[in-house]
Amino acid sequence: MTPSSRPHLTGGPPVCHPGTDTGQRWTFGFPDGLTAEVHTRGARLHALWVPDRYGTPADVVLAPHDPAQTATAARYFGATVGRYANRIAQGRFSLDGKPYQLTTQENGHCLHGGTDGFDTRLWEAESVHTPEWTGVLLHLRSPDGDQGFPGNLDVTVSCLIGRGNELSFSYAAVTDVTTLVSLTNHAYFNLEGEGAVDILDHELAVDATHYTPVDGDLIPYGDHRSVSGTAFDLRRPLRIAEALARPEAGGGYDHNFVLRPHGDGTLRRAAVLHAPATGRRMEVLTTEPGLQVYTAGQFDGTVLGKSGTPYQRCAGIALETQHFPDSPNRPGDPSPVLRPGDEHRSRTVLRFSTSD
């Protein structure tokens, strides 16, 4: 199977391919719908083939041609990130009056779980297959003290495709000591195909009335702000190039949008991404309180994509459903604290359709 070719599926159970540096490769889907490839190293969505308005499938997930780059420049591409997605300032927080220090990287802050986060781990996997859903269950144990986090944490992530052209991520975790949990998938999408130049002609809508302002290190400060009259007002679909041209956007998004309502576990729409050129439309539904929108403003061609195209600025967009950045240090934000006897549960669904 070449890096950009779609596996031939007969509608049977997921297929496991031999292990490599990326771990096992699992392929699954339905013949006339979506097809995915997931790698167990990092519980990583490596590819997703989605039909366009004419029924022609294309891979819409960015990933490096050289798998070794998932340890460097392409570290988070498609990966499950944790224990804590996004940033914790200086890698410091307190729980029940006890201070903790995490491993740090980017500007001295903890990003996506630390220097050796869940994206680097080899997860265990098993197949799931019913008449309506097919995919994999991925399992990981994070030991007490992992990257500085307290407690043994047992994590399960399901990645399933439904016959209704849905890709579902469900997360579950339990701990034996009070800890923090915020998990997400960090895929970058380009609905014109992963080798297309950029996502600037895509249209984006986000169901949020407020966003989180950040400083130069992308650490939140102050209160959440209204999107009204700003580049962050995406309550109606807006061409991404037009949105990013507004001064407040700073040439690119890497911001948390505050989804409403939150906290009751109901699956609600967070965003819609649409590529007029292909007709592909991706609706994001989640139980999470926040959506981190990142338009890949730092991409500089270092990563060569699966189809041989260097990924330049805005080659893709990440729509990361999660808790808010640095929320362990912001008491007014939804709490990411998980205690023994409780279970962390979260679900995000990507629902695909086409326009005329």
The residues that are catalytic are 186, 320
Determine the residue type at 342: D
- Residue 183 and residue 81 in contact, taking contact as beta carbons nearer than 8 Å: yes
CA dihedral 287, 291, 295, 299 (to 10 degrees): -80
What sign for the dihedral angle of Cα 298, 301, 302, 306? Answer: positive
Start-end of H helices in 172-323: 240-244
Cβ contacts of 342 within 8 Å, gap of 6 or more: 174
Residue 160 to residues 21, 170, 342: CA-CA distances in angstroms?
A: 23, 9, 24
- Residue 261 and residue 335 in contact, taking contact as beta carbons nearer than 8 Å: no
Start-end of H helices in 178-251: 240-244
Residue 105 CA to residue 137 CA, distance in Å, equals 30
Residue 6 CA to residue 36 CA, distance in Å, equals 9
CB atoms within 10 A of CB 322: 27
Cβ contacts of 69 within 8 Å, gap of 6 or more: 303
